[in-house]
Amino acid sequence: MNLASSNSISAQPGRTIRFRIKRCDGPGKPSYWQAFSVSPEAGANVLSCLQQIAANPVTADGQRTTPVVWDAGCLEEVCGACTMVINGKARQSCSCLVDQYAPNDGDEITLEPMSKFPVVRDLWVDRSRMFHNLKRVKAWVPIDGTYNLGAGPRESHEQQERRYALSTCMTCGCCLEACPQFLPEANANKWDTSFVGAQVLGQAHLFNLHQTGEQLASDRLDVLMGQGGVSDCGNSQNCVKVCPKHIPLTESIAALGRAVAVHSVKRWFTSK
């Protein structure tokens, strides 16, 4: 019965807020800003406001325009699709509550596409590089096939918990957006020599931790030893601070750093 500890937010009902949105009609086209006035419904989030704008695309100064384009899927912060830069910080827009970001009449929210990936249109970016990088490090367990061969390896609680934490990575890209070492690269031919980024380091670590996945550890370390590998990380720890799934990315980076050091010594002996 402790009313004081209720943390419910008191946003002004019936208010009008502004969305300032950085738009772009397509690759190679210039970016421009547009503002929209929205009266958020109860419980609105950024995506539900974008839906309102799409249904009736008129700017704050009354100009008809095209609907803003964005990417979305689950609407419950588990697919990673809807990531964008909101008030200067990358996060999922589906879980971004407008009552918290703009509680008062006239408050403004700024939306921009992520800057590390090519824009497709407006807030929608092309993150194929993240999926490509998963191939680079063979982020899979090399099973013999899909026919019945019994259960997988037994595993302790602790090991399951470590792997589970890494395995909730939803390929959203927040960690890459925040990373000073991960730079935009539109040319897909250069992806294989550019920094893989924290997302992929977490995944390489995940598969190295699995008893069968470990068979490819040497291949993974070869890649992470090379150009764009783990040594490109400047250890600024931005990634771990922004990951919405609280994945212990810096632990993965440290573990891989050590593994790569051992691996390169081994390679040095065996390649001569």
Partner 1 sequence: MAQQRVIVVGGGLAGLAATIRLAESGIGVDLFSMVPVKRSHSVCAQGGINACNEVARQQGYSEYEHFDETIYGGDFLADQPPVLEMANFAPKIIDLLDRMGVPFNRTNEGFRDLRLFGGSLFKRTHFAGATTGQQLIYALDEQARRWEAEGRVAKYEFWEFLWPVIEDGRCVGIVAQDMRTMQIRAFRADAVVMATGGCGLVYGKSTNSVICTGAAAARCFQAGVWYGNPEMIQVHPTAIPGADKLRLMSESARGEGGRVWVPRKKGESRRPKDIPEAERYYFLEERYPKYGNIVPRDIATREIFQICVSEGMGVDGENQVYLDLSHKDPEYLTRKLGGILEIYEKFVGVDPRFEPMKIFPAVHYSMGGLWTRYERGSYQPASPLPGHKSGSRAPIGAEIGQGMQPGSPINMQTNIDGLYAFGEVNFAYHGANRLGANALLSCIFDGLFCGKSVENYVRDVVASKGQADQVPQGAYDRVVAQEEAKQKRLMDTVGRGEVAPEINPYQIHKELGTEMTAACTVVKSGPRLEQALKRVEELKERFARARLSDSAAWTNQSFSYARAVGDMLTIAEAIVKGSAVRKESRGAHYRTDFPERDDAHFMKTTVAKFDPASAQVSVELVGVDASLVQPRKRDYTGKSAGGSVEKKAAASPAAV
Burial of 171 (0-12, 13-18, 19+ CB in 10 A): middle
Applying CB under 8 A, the span of 140-148, 181-189, 231-239, 261-269 interacting with partner 1 comes to: 140-148
DSSP state of 19: E
Decide if residue 222 touches partner 1 (CB under 8 A).
Answer: no
Phi, psi of 44 (to 5 degrees): -65, 150
Residues 242-271 that bind ligand SF4 (CB under 6 A): 243-245, 247, 249-250, 253
Among 86, 209, 217, 233, binds ligand SF4 (CB under 6 A): 233
6 binds, among ligand SF4, partner 1, ligand FES, none (CB under 5 to 8 A by kind): partner 1
Q: Beta-carbon neighbour count of residue 3 at 10 Å?
A: 5
Is residue 134 involved in binding ligand SF4 (CB under 6 A)? no
Helix (H, G, I), strand (E, B) or coil at 229: coil
Any alpha helices (H) in the chain, and if so which ranges? 46-55, 98-101, 128-136, 157-167, 174-178, 198-208, 217-225, 238-242, 249-270
Tell me which stretch binds ligand SF4 (CB under 6 A): 41-49, 99-107, 115-123, 232-240. 232-240
The only residue of 35, 54, 58, 74 in contact with ligand FES, by rule CB under 6 A: 74
Distance, in Å, from the CA atom of 180 to the CA atom of 234, rounded to the nearest integer, reads 8
The residue behind tokens 């419910």 is: 8
Whether the CB-CB separation of 168 and 175 falls below 8 Å is answered with no
Interaction of residue 48 with ligand SF4, rule CB under 6 A? no
Residues 166-185, interacting with partner 1 (CB under 8 A): 167-168, 170-171
Among residues 184, 190, 193, 178, the alpha carbon closest in space to that of 229 is found at 193
Q: Which two tokens stand for residue 19?
A: 């969305």
Lookup: tokens for 221:
């370390």
Of the residues 16, 59, 155, 215, which one makes contact with partner 1 according to CB under 8 A: 155
Question: Under the criterion CB under 6 A, does residue 170 sit at the interface with ligand SF4?
Answer: yes
Contact region with ligand SF4 (CB under 6 A), list: 15-23, 29-37, 147-155, 169-177:
169-177
Give which of partner 1, ligand SF4, ligand FES, none residue 64 binds (C-beta under 5 to 8 Å, depending on kind). Answer: partner 1
Structure tokens at 124: 């929608």
17 near ligand SF4 (CB under 6 A): no
Instruction: Please select the residue that binds ligand SF4; options are 139, 198, 216, 221, rule is CB under 6 A.
Output: 198
Q: Is 81 in the site for ligand FES (CB under 6 A)?
A: yes
Q: What is the smallest separation between the CB atom of 100 and ligand FES, expressed in angstroms?
A: 16
Name the one residue in this structure whose structure tokens are 């008893």: 211
Question: Which residues form the interface with ligand FES (CB under 6 A)?
Answer: 72-75, 77-82, 92, 94
